[in-house]
Amino acid sequence: MALVHEIDYGTPAQTSATEVTLTIDGHEITVPEGTSIMRASMEAGIKVPKLCATDSIEAYGSCRLCLVEVKGRAGTPASCTTPVMAGMVVSTQTERLKQLRRGVMELYISDHPLDCLTCAANGDCELQDMAGEVGLREVRYGFAGENHMGQEKDESNPYFTFDPSKCIVCSRCVRACEEVQGTFALTIQGRGFESKVSPGMNEAFLDSECVSCGACVQACPTATLSEKSIIDIGQPEHSVVTTCAYCGVGCSFKAEMRGNELVRMVPYKDGKANHGHSCVKGRFAWGYATHKERILKPMIREKITDPWREVSWDEAIGRVASEFKRIQQTYGKSAIGGITSSRCTNEETYLVQQLIRAGFGNNNVDTCARVCHSPTGYGLKTTYGTSAGTQDFDSVEHADVIMVIGANPTDGHPVFASRMKKRLREGAKLIVIDPRRTDLVRSPHIEAAYHLPLRPGTNVAVLTSIAHVIVTEGLVDEAFVRERCELDAFADWAAFVASDKYSPEAVEEISGVSARLIREAARLYATGGNGAIYYGLGVTEHSQGSTGVMAIANLAMATGNLGRPGVGVNPLRGQNNVQGACDMGSFPHELPGYRHVSDDHTRAMFGALWGVTLDAEPGLRIPNMFDAAVDGTFKGMYIQGEDIVQSDPDTHHVTRGMAAMECVVVQDLFLNETANYAHVFLPGSTFLEKNGTFTNAERRINRVRKVMPSRSGLEDWEITIRIANAMGYPMSYNHPGEIMDEIARMTPSFTGVSYAKLDEVGSVQWPCNDKSPEGMPVMHVDGFARGKGHFVITEFVPTDEKVGPRFPLLLTTGRILSQYNVGAQTRRTENSVFMAEDLLEIHPHDAEERGVRDGDRVKLISRAGATSLRAQISERVAPGVVYTTFHFPETQANVITTDYSDWATNCPEYKVTAVQVALSNGPTEWQEEYQEHSDLSRRIAAHAAE
């Protein structure tokens, strides 16, 4: 294996259909119109020296190193800023050009420290390369005059340094921050010799607007902006292309290695989800993989209050098998079940559901999608026929109106947010429907046309009211509806939404959003060109989550915004493989490929393959498993890569259920909160330690490639196989590729997927089969997967969770950029520098009423429980609404959330909890008890196994 080096073409690719032919250094070259001479040369393999150009950003033309001669033209134009023209004759290597380039380089080098041999970028520095390329042999100007050397380094960012003494002021970093990331954190201050790069107004990186995405580090041609890991470990010597294991964007990275040590993660330009961009998590927050708290040996214990005892793999797996078998003999075969992980690979998830269905003999399998996007599956399947988003991410580049509902992409899906922001800067209009004023509403060079700050829990009313405006104002795309949708259902729906009950004026009363805003937003979405909807957990995690998804689906059908680039209904899925976990049959009622367990044909097919008779009855969902555990009928659980104690709602109920079980098996990286209730701990592997695939939010199947050996000795899929065999259900696969081959054989939308195919084309979006061998970027192009699109009546039913005198505020929850969900990984990285605790955002008005000042510790109380945390006074939330994250176990925000859930899928209502806030002087009783239990439960008997 060698280092993967991607070619830098100098300027971005052009997409014009018109082609232009020119001659460069005697070679005839044809490229799309608008291409720069530099790119045309590079594409033909003719290298032009350059410093200020790189192909992720527009050309700037400042360094004058890329000069060329064009026949018939005076002077020496910069090839990066000069577009090709038909018949042009270009020379890139003449004596005159060589002289000029040497002169330019001489000036740069005369103001640059000549410490190449000890510089961290030695061997990976474009300045060094260019000096060699132009044949610079001597520098006539000494260092005696005024120069920039000796300037102080900025080491404030935990992941990269800024050494201005090495800066050549090419402004690649500034432009990357603006054009690629869209944060505008950097500027060039001063003029001429005085000009210098500065975060904000002469701030340190850490204090500036910088969100540590790394785009500037990536763009910097010198060692000025360098990863600290490169300085600490040295230059990498080989790399492996793999996929980020954090969010549903599914960014591709080159894991650059020295031996088995990861040196840095570099976003991969050919990655079809990210096109070479990244966020702070994927780029930098991988240190958890080698964190000292990782558990690397299997452990068992009799009671959850005993210390853990390290044992061999055989003993641990033997214990799991004997306990699960004992429980089934004593309490019946349905007394055990399991939870698959949206963090693990498709192959691992497939095996866990197989183990449960075929090995346990029941359908008691569920996944964390239950608590996030199960309403998406239900809603989109009902309306369109497929449980997934309709577009690829590239589609946003063709959107004219972007409607973001209940999602905060700049924090939750940052790389996609950067692309969305780029499109918005190009002129697309934005509608944000969210109780909170998220960053998107107003950020540098972006302002939402409309922000509808609705009361939490009123999505369905607002969305139906938007439909009311579309129908009553004659904005329906009648041709689309006539051709593509069920007409009876449409007529019923149109009559339903047109009723006065859903007029903007009536809905203003319910939602708090002015009728004017609802009307204008509806008109813009319906008439503004390509309308694309992106939504998140702010839609699904409600008692009407599925209804909300169907209300969105109705809007897109009514306006004809489906079946082409730039439109569609796009769930922004949270976790790296939540789409895949659903596809792989993680739900109690569905076999892989979303086929119901009651379907005799599918069941017979899987039964024949696995050599068992499968149960035709759906199994227990996660909340029902806890209910059954509390009732004493459910006694054992296998949990792979999921911290349900921290992530599931109503923690008191969850922990009661957990504590009531006789054998809880947790397979994870760390002793997480769920492990506090476990009897067997099986050490899992990180994404760096295994092979497999993840499926992102756009249905894209990406390869995960092993870059280092599993630190615990077994990869997660191997552990599941061992459990199955120990329980007497034979399972045998030698490599995850074989598991994927079986998935492809058994699942119609995956028949064309194989590791060989993925290695060849990079990634594919399912369905990938005979009909669409290269996958399907945009769905429902000629017709819906279910045939005709189905409009659904979306009656607004207010949640039972109501504010009142005792609980007058509404709590809604979300996440922030630097931490990830339960935080088990990101809390064990330097990302904690950016955020070290959950905070409660409260409006100044509500804070003042309660005597709360910024930073005060407050008690947050709901009908379900109480916790305490510090307050942050903020106008991002409206009066009457408070907001917090759930990244830190010390806070346990889910002690507060209730067990109300979506009527169709049981997805919990995380986004609406009636609460009270009061000043507090310390942790609540629950927090203290929990901490005590945690401390007790995490003890490991010293080296018991040795």
Q: Which residues bind ligand FES (CB under 6 A)?
A: 50-53, 61-66, 78, 80
Q: Of these partners, ligand SF4, ligand FES, none, which one is at the site of residue 65 (CB under 5 to 8 Å by kind)?
A: ligand FES
User: Closer to ligand FES at the Cβ: 58 or 306?
Assistant: 58
345 and 750 in contact (C-beta within 8 Å)? no
User: Closer to ligand FES at the Cβ: 56 or 905?
Assistant: 56
- The amino acid that residue 367 corresponds to is T
Q: How far apart are CA 428 and CA 416, in angstroms?
A: 15
| Alpha-carbon 453 to chain mean position | 24
655 and 677 in contact (C-beta within 8 Å)? yes
Among 42, 170, 388, 552, binds ligand SF4 (CB under 6 A): 170
- Is 913 a residue that touches ligand SF4 (CB under 6 A)? no
Q: Of these partners, ligand SF4, ligand FES, none, which one is at the site of residue 183 (CB under 5 to 8 Å by kind)?
A: ligand SF4
Of 176-184, 577-585, 609-617, 903-911, the window that binds ligand SF4 (rule: CB under 6 A) is 176-184
Q: Which helix (H) or strand (E) holds 345?
A: none
Q: Of these partners, ligand FES, ligand SF4, none, which one is at the site of residue 386 (CB under 5 to 8 Å by kind)?
A: none
- Non-local CB neighbours of 51 within 8 Å, separated by 6+ positions: 63, 65, 108, 126, 127, 130, 168, 170, 221
- The amino acid that residue 667 corresponds to is Q
- Non-local CB neighbours of 533 within 8 Å, separated by 6+ positions: 403, 405, 552, 555, 556, 561, 568, 569, 570
User: Closer to ligand SF4 at the Cβ: 63 or 300?
Assistant: 63
- Is 172 a residue that touches ligand SF4 (CB under 6 A)? yes
Q: Of these partners, ligand SF4, ligand FES, none, which one is at the site of residue 105 (CB under 5 to 8 Å by kind)?
A: none
Among 264, 269, 275, 281, binds ligand SF4 (CB under 6 A): 281
Q: Of these partners, ligand SF4, ligand FES, none, which one is at the site of residue 577 (CB under 5 to 8 Å by kind)?
A: none
| Alpha-carbon 642 to chain mean position | 17
Q: Of these partners, ligand SF4, ligand FES, none, which one is at the site of residue 61 (CB under 5 to 8 Å by kind)?
A: ligand FES
Supply the DSSP symbol for 879: T
- Is 401 a residue that touches ligand SF4 (CB under 6 A)? no
Shortest gap between Cβ of 758 and ligand SF4 (angstroms)?
17
Q: How far apart are CA 148 and CA 126, in angstroms?
A: 19
Shortest gap between Cβ of 75 and ligand FES (angstroms)?
13
Both tokens of 708, joined, read 């280092």
Q: Of these partners, ligand FES, ligand SF4, none, which one is at the site of residue 63 (CB under 5 to 8 Å by kind)?
A: ligand FES
Of 97-105, 274-282, 543-551, 793-801, the window that binds ligand SF4 (rule: CB under 6 A) is 274-282
Binding mask 182-201 toward ligand SF4 (x if CB under 6 A, else -) reads -x-xx----------x----
534 and 395 in contact (C-beta within 8 Å)? no
- Is 176 a residue that touches ligand SF4 (CB under 6 A)? yes
Q: ∠151-154-155 over CA atoms, to 5°?
A: 135
User: Closer to ligand SF4 at the Cβ: 274 or 540?
Assistant: 274
Backbone angles phi and psi of 676, in degrees to 5: -60, -20
Shortest gap between Cβ of 9 and ligand FES (angstroms)?
12
Strand partners, 431: 403, 450
- H helix and E strand count, the chain: 29, 36
Residues that contact ligand SF4, how many (by CB under 6 A): 40
Q: Up-side HSE of residue 854: CA atoms within 13 Å toward CB?
A: 5
Q: Up-side HSE of residue 437: CA atoms within 13 Å toward CB?
A: 14
- Is 130 a residue that touches ligand SF4 (CB under 6 A)? no
Please confirm whether the linkage preceding 767 is cis (ω < 30° from 0): yes
Of 144-152, 205-213, 687-695, 920-928, the window that binds ligand SF4 (rule: CB under 6 A) is 205-213
- The amino acid that residue 698 corresponds to is E
- Is 422 a residue that touches ligand SF4 (CB under 6 A)? no
- Non-local CB neighbours of 9 within 8 Å, separated by 6+ positions: 38, 39, 42, 43, 55
- The amino acid that residue 810 corresponds to is L
Shortest gap between Cβ of 183 and ligand FES (angstroms)?
23
Nearest to 309 by CA among 318, 317, 297, 300: 300
Give CA separation, 464 vs 436, 519, 618, 792, in Å: 20, 12, 32, 11
User: Closer to ligand SF4 at the Cβ: 173 or 230?
Assistant: 173
User: Closer to ligand FES at the Cβ: 179 or 256?
Assistant: 179
22 and 36 in contact (C-beta within 8 Å)? no
Q: Which helix (H) or strand (E) holds 630?
A: helix 622-631
282 and 447 in contact (C-beta within 8 Å)? no
Among 42, 105, 216, 629, binds ligand SF4 (CB under 6 A): 216
574 and 813 in contact (C-beta within 8 Å)? no
Q: Up-side HSE of residue 841: CA atoms within 13 Å toward CB?
A: 21
Footprint of ligand SF4 on 226-265 (CB under 6 A): 244, 246-247, 249-251
Both tokens of 759, joined, read 């290695």
Q: Of these partners, ligand SF4, ligand FES, none, which one is at the site of residue 219 (CB under 5 to 8 Å by kind)?
A: ligand SF4
Q: Of these partners, ligand SF4, ligand FES, none, which one is at the site of residue 481 (CB under 5 to 8 Å by kind)?
A: none
Q: Of these partners, ligand SF4, ligand FES, none, which one is at the site of residue 278 (CB under 5 to 8 Å by kind)?
A: ligand SF4
Both tokens of 495, joined, read 């009559």
User: Closer to ligand FES at the Cβ: 12 or 236?
Assistant: 12
Shortest gap between Cβ of 221 and ligand SF4 (angstroms)?
6
Nearest to 372 by CA among 515, 487, 540, 205: 540
Of 130-138, 179-187, 421-429, 528-536, the window that binds ligand SF4 (rule: CB under 6 A) is 179-187
Q: Of these partners, ligand SF4, ligand FES, none, which one is at the site of residue 628 (CB under 5 to 8 Å by kind)?
A: none
Q: Of these partners, ligand SF4, ligand FES, none, which one is at the site of residue 70 (CB under 5 to 8 Å by kind)?
A: none
Q: How far apart are CA 644 and CA 757, in angstroms?
A: 35
Q: Of these partners, ligand SF4, ligand FES, none, which one is at the site of residue 873 (CB under 5 to 8 Å by kind)?
A: none
- Is 213 a residue that touches ligand SF4 (CB under 6 A)? yes
Shortest gap between Cβ of 79 and ligand FES (angstroms)?
6
Q: Of these partners, ligand SF4, ligand FES, none, which one is at the site of residue 693 (CB under 5 to 8 Å by kind)?
A: none
Among 63, 109, 173, 524, binds ligand SF4 (CB under 6 A): 173
User: Closer to ligand SF4 at the Cβ: 220 or 550?
Assistant: 220
Nearest to 802 by CA among 455, 382, 383, 297: 455
Among 29, 88, 279, 584, binds ligand SF4 (CB under 6 A): 279
User: Closer to ligand FES at the Cβ: 76 or 349?
Assistant: 76
724 and 359 in contact (C-beta within 8 Å)? yes
User: Closer to ligand FES at the Cβ: 108 or 205?
Assistant: 108
User: Closer to ligand FES at the Cβ: 63 or 469?
Assistant: 63
Nearest to 768 by CA among 759, 780, 757: 757
Q: Up-side HSE of residue 489: CA atoms within 13 Å toward CB?
A: 16
- Is 167 a residue that touches ligand SF4 (CB under 6 A)? yes
- Is 533 a residue that touches ligand SF4 (CB under 6 A)? no
Among 35, 92, 161, 171, binds ligand SF4 (CB under 6 A): 171
Give CA separation, 334 vs 338, 356, 360, 730, 847, in Å: 11, 10, 8, 20, 50
Direct distance between the N- and C-terminal alpha carbons of the chain, in angstroms, rounded to an integer: 37
Q: Of these partners, ligand SF4, ligand FES, none, which one is at the site of residue 211 (CB under 5 to 8 Å by kind)?
A: ligand SF4
Residue that has been written with the tokens 């409309």 in this structure = 450
- In the complex, which residues of this chain contact ligand SF4 (CB under 6 A)? 167-173, 176-177, 181, 183, 185-186, 197, 210-216, 219-222, 224-225, 244, 246-247, 249-251, 274, 278-279, 281-282, 414-415
